[in-house]
Amino acid sequence: MTMKLVATAFAALATQQHVAAFAPAVGRGYSASSALRMAETTALSQDELKKMVGYKSVDDYVESGMVVGLGTGSTAYFAVERLGEKLKSGDLKDIVAIPTSVRTKEQAEELGIPLVTLDTHSKLDVAIDGADEVDPDLNLVKGGGGALLREKMVEVCADKFIVIVDESKLCDGLGPGFPLPVEITPFCHEHTLRTIAALPTCEGCDAVLRMGTSSSNVPDGDDIAVTDNGNYIVDLHFKEAIKDAPAMATELKNTVGVVDHGLFCGMTTAVIIAGSDGISVKEA
């Protein structure tokens, strides 16, 4: 995107006052870039940055006639919102979409987005979702919102997987900045938790059973969190960066009792990043 286009896009967004209810409370602000100053706007909030990348992902990667995977979370929310807008206006036609969670399904239905499932559409043209962490090789940690299994099932079937984040999600190494979620079966869950913590690639992690709401890794209740699939989540807290994310992904997946994990390795087509200097795109 040229400087002029970035400035125009930021200026347009700055005039929009509505922030969707699903999005989290406004986080830390970002300093205005030269593009923003040219557009005579003020620094945008983290939520507004999320909206920028969410809208851009649909504008740049979704075309009429596509099968689209819809992610889950506060950033993916805006991609779903944009898809609904463009279908309503007629800019996009003959789109069907596959949601990755119950709450994304509900949002899409409210917007009138036609929905299908992998049972009828096993091949997707594009999937769009956020991430909790992104490393320099574009490996991801996902699942902070508890939808990691459905997200991976849908996104691995897409010809293109577009990741949308603000710059706070970029890291030098996965692990310390955000706990790694692992979805496990309820049966003998304490045994599975101990088994995971004892894996060689997980050495040094603190394995914590998610409590309360499955969509948050911050404990907010006394009951064990249950996913949309009826499973539990163990969050792995690391003090140091994961040395070999693909190796850990394989070891976790091969552990009996583990349904899936939040490491998304080698799946990313491109990452759209919103930051203080505007929007950038990093391709795999």
**151 labelled catalytic:** yes
The total number of residues shown for the chain amounts to 284
Consecutive H or E run containing 125: strand 124-129
- How far apart, in whole angstroms, are the C-alpha atoms of residue 67 and residue 265? 23
85 backbone dihedrals φ, ψ, rounded to 5°: -60, -45
How far is residue 166's CA from residue 83's CA, in Å, rounded to a whole number? Answer: 20
- Paired tokens of 18: 């509505």
* Nearby residues of 195 by Cβ (< 8 Å), 6 or more positions away: 255, 256, 257
Distance CA 233, CA 109 (A): 27
Give every CB contact of residue 136 below 8 A, 6+ residues apart in sequence. 172
Report residue 78 CA to chain centroid gap. Answer: 11
Residue 231, C-beta contacts closer than 8 angstroms, at least 6 positions apart: 149, 183, 184, 185, 186, 259
Pairwise CA distance, residues 257 & 277, whole Å: 44
Total Cβ atoms within 10 A of residue 23: 20
Asked if residues 180 and 238 have their Cβ atoms less than 8 Å apart, the reply is yes
Phi, psi for 93 (deg, rounded to 5):
-140, 160
Catalytic residue chosen out of the listed positions 151, 190, 240, 251: 151
Residue 182: CB atoms within 10 Å: 29
Which residues does the annotation mark as catalytic? 151
